[in-house]
Amino acid sequence: MHDLNNLLLLSVILCNFFTLGSSRLGACIRVVALQGAIISLLPVTVHGPTGHSLLLGVGALALKGIFIPWLLFRAIREVRIRREVEPLIGYIPTLLIGALSTSAAFIFAEHLPLVAEHRDSLFIPTALATLFTGFLLLSTRRKAITQVLGYLIFENAIFILGVLLAEALPLMVEAGVLLDLLVATFVMGIVINQINREFSTLNTERLSALKE
Amino acid sequence: MIGNALLHLLLLFLLSPLLLGVIGKTKALFAGRWGAPLLQPYFDLWKLARKGMVLSETTTWVFLAGPLIGFAVPPLAALFIPFGALPAPVSFSGDLILFVYLFGLSRFFTAGAALDTGSSFEGMGAAREVTFSCLAEPTLLFVLIVLARLAGDLSLGAMLGPTLPLSWHQAGAALGLALVSLFVVLLVENSRIPFDDPNTHLELTMIHEVMVLDHSGPAFGLILYGAAMKLFVLGAVLVRMALPMTYPNDWLNLAVFVAGMLALAVLIGVVESIMARLRLIRVPQVLVGTTLLSAFAMVLLLRQ
């Protein structure tokens, strides 16, 4: 079970690297969906197939693995963009920063006063590395849709942290978080359309100018 | 010891062109053709060996040294690598550095021979080859460092030795990442498809092929044979990492190794059939990515 968890978390990190290095939006959305599907397995592999963990897993899979990616695909079909052009920091530098921050997350997690059972697992460092990845995507990409992906990755990281607490956390809280995520993505989907209609581009930089 | 070394060289010399044949056959079958016979690379080598050779008047000894060193290096490097469970004939602490830079030496002379012709076109190929291999080198070294740390030994013979199954058990994730990175290095170093197309003679996209345009006859045969052996040697490292088991029966070990090499050739053929060549500017991006991947494998190890 321990090995399986580590394998899942490792593939989460690989998904992080891919989204940082790829310029194709479609592939990025697919990989983020894959990441969501992977982490939705975690509650079951960590806590066993109890009703609580199954519900959490199925809910996460339905939202993060299927519904939200479908929404995003619809969004990029409507605004007709395929790739992120000229990010604020290039792909190789973001990939390098991502790798450095992942290593830093691993080193940092070593020094945290964790419970003994979590000390050897990859949960905490993976969650921290995924958080950094989400931050990086949010801050270095110009297109609103990639920023939504950054937000999703960010949420995935919080989910990974939450899995460790799944016993203590009531199901309602988890459900609320997932619902928040859904609403946020929904709203962003609408915002993306609006930005596109106003400026005929998706660069969020245009939003910083208040007047015409 | 001597017998082992001879067996190593025999395997290398006899089987390496077969890998190219298997790759070609796989690609042909994927394309719905019957393809050239499996032994075609042997026929090609034999044909080239009997041909005459044209030497440009402007070239010097470097032009001939390229093919010769490219041919001599892989058998030397093969002596440091265990072929399956067959132990490496020569092994000393730190031979991994020698292994990596033996190939560096052959690359230097191949590029030198290309520059020696004075053709600007071949110079371009040499520049590309050197650029990509300098990007692939850190990945290879990181992979070897991962292996060295797992085995606690700095000789390739011990790193790819009987401790490997235990390492897979202890640090399967790190070894898996290293294996994937090594596969990418194998494709780059042997100029296989996502990075370079060995069949193309279209000028703008060629990397390795462009450097050997002026070689003909036996010298070109040596280059092809050397390239096949290089694929075999690097492939042997990969196969040993992927199939680390050792059986008591020597013949069984040998069979597992040969089967692994053939499976690797089929895998390369499949990759070449289903992937398109990467654009040149994308290649460094991928190589930096694999460097990070292998570095990350090492970070995983350091944690333990």
The Cα B195–Cα B278 span in angstroms is 6
Average pLDDT over residues A44-70: 85
pLDDT at B92 over 80: yes
**How far apart, in whole angstroms, are the C-alpha atoms of residue B32 and residue B277?**
20
Strand, coil or helix: A24 = strand
All residues of chain A having their beta carbon less than 8 Å from the beta carbon of residue B174 are none
Stated pTM of the model = 0.85
Residue B65 has pLDDT above 90, yes or no: yes
| A87 close contact with B: CB closer than 8 A | no
Q: Hey, what are B206's tokens?
A: 């060629």
Identity of the residue in B172, B292, B300 whose CB atom sits nearest the CB atom of A95: B292
**Complex prediction ipTM:** 0.71
B25 vs A64: which has the higher pLDDT: B25
Q: What is the CB neighbour count within 10 angstroms for residue B17?
A: 24
* Lowest model confidence (mean pLDDT) among B31-45, B62-76, B289-303: B289-303
Q: Is the per-residue pLDDT at A85 higher than 70?
A: no
The pLDDT assigned to A145 comes to 79
pLDDT on residue B304: 63
Q: Is B278 on the interface with A (CB under 8 A)?
A: no
Residue A187 has pLDDT above 80, yes or no: no
Report the C-alpha gap between A192 and A78 in whole angstroms: 10
pLDDT of residue B219: 92
Report yes or no: A121 at the B interface, CB cutoff 8 Å: no
Residue B56 has pLDDT above 90, yes or no: no
pLDDT score at A30: 92
Tell me which residue has tokens 């999703």: A152
A95 and B300 within 8 Å at the Cβ level: the answer is no
Q: Dig out the tokens for B36 from the structure.
A: 């050239």
User: Residues A76-92: what's their mean pLDDT?
Assistant: 75
Phi first, then psi, for residue A22 (nearest 5°) are -100, 145
Return mean pLDDT, chain A: 82
How far off is chain A from B152, nearest CA to CA, in Å?
A: 21
How would residue A49 be classed by pLDDT, with cut points 50, 70 and 90?
A: confident
Whether B45 and B51 have beta carbons less than 8 Å apart is answered as no
DSSP output for B135-175: HHHHHHHHHHHHHHHHHT-SSHHHHTSTTHHHHHHHSHHHH
The answer to whether the beta carbons of residues B8 and B89 sit under 8 Å apart is yes
Q: For the residues A54-62, what does the mean pLDDT come to?
A: 86
Chain A residues inside the 8 Å CB shell of B295: 99, 103
Amino acid (one-letter) located at A105: A
For chain B, say whether A103 makes contact (Cβ under 8 Å).
Answer: yes
Phi, psi angle pair for A203, to nearest 5°: -70, 125
B contacts of A110 (beta carbons < 8 Å): 303
Q: State whether A92 and B288 contact (CB < 8 Å).
A: yes
Chain A residues touching residue B300 (CB < 8 angstroms): 10, 106
Q: Select the residue of A14, A98, A110 nearest B303 (Cβ to Cβ).
A: A110
Is the model's pLDDT at A27 over the cut of 80?
Answer: yes
pLDDT in tens, B21-53: 999 999 999 999 998 899 999 999 999 999 999
Residue B10 predicted with pLDDT over 80: yes
In this structure, are residues B228 and B11 in contact, taking their beta carbons and an 8 Å threshold? Answer: no
Mean pLDDT of B157-186: 88
Per-residue pLDDT, B204: 64
CB-based contact B289 A13, cutoff 8 Å: no
For position B194, what pLDDT does the model report? 82
pLDDT in tens, B138-163: 999 999 999 999 988 899 988 888 88
Is pLDDT above 70 for A87? yes
Average pLDDT of B74-99?
Answer: 91
Task: Compute CA distances B156 → B78, B79, B243, whole Å.
Answer: 11, 10, 16
B205 has a pLDDT exceeding 70: no
Task: State the pLDDT confidence band at A6, using cuts at 50, 70 and 90.
Answer: confident
pLDDT digits (tens, 9 = 90+) for B260-288: 999 999 999 999 999 888 888 888 888 98
Are the C-beta atoms of B125 and B208 separated by less than 8 Å? Answer: yes
Tell me whether B180 touches chain A (CB under 8 Å). Answer: no
Mean pLDDT over residues A184-212, rounded?
Answer: 70
Residue A176: the pLDDT is 76
| A110 shares contact with chain B (CB less than 8 Å) | yes
Residue A169: pLDDT over 90 = no
pLDDT tier at B186, thresholds 50, 70, 90: very high
User: For A138-152, B110-124, B242-256, which range has the lowest pLDDT when averaged over its residues?
Assistant: A138-152
Quote the CA–CA distance of A89 and B95 in Å, as a whole number: 40
The structure tokens listed for B45 are 């080598």
CB atoms A91 and B296 under 8 Å: no
Interatomic CA distance for residues A66 and A47, integer angstroms: 23
